[in-house]
Amino acid sequence: MTLKIYHNARCRKSRAGLKYLQERTDDYEIIEYLKSGISPDEIREMLLKLNISASKLVRTQEDLYKKELKGKQFTNDEWIIILTENPKLIRRPVVIGKDKAVIGDPPEELGKMLN
């Protein structure tokens, strides 16, 4: 199965993750989710394959998080809606395979998807 990398070209960590993949495989699809958007179902698939709750997918260093979300309690479904509406809050890059996914920070984490 082709890997999917949820990528933000403006993010240093995401670029490093993509470079790591490019040096090791040709079998991937780049999804620029900040341009195309991301659906609640895509986020649910990501969470299922990462085996984490939605709150663990949130970039807590983003201004939006610090100013509006920090310290507030949200359900998993509420976080999914927040992430759908504010995809910039999603940690990156996320690489999804058939049965699992990893967050490529550091990029070496992506090696788990290539074995």
Residues with Cβ within 8 Å of 22's Cβ and at least 6 positions away in sequence, in order, are: none
CA distance 31 to 40: 15
Q: Would residue 45 show up in a list of annotated catalytic residues for this protein?
A: no
Active-site residue, from 11, 34, 54, 83: 11
Catalytic residues: 11
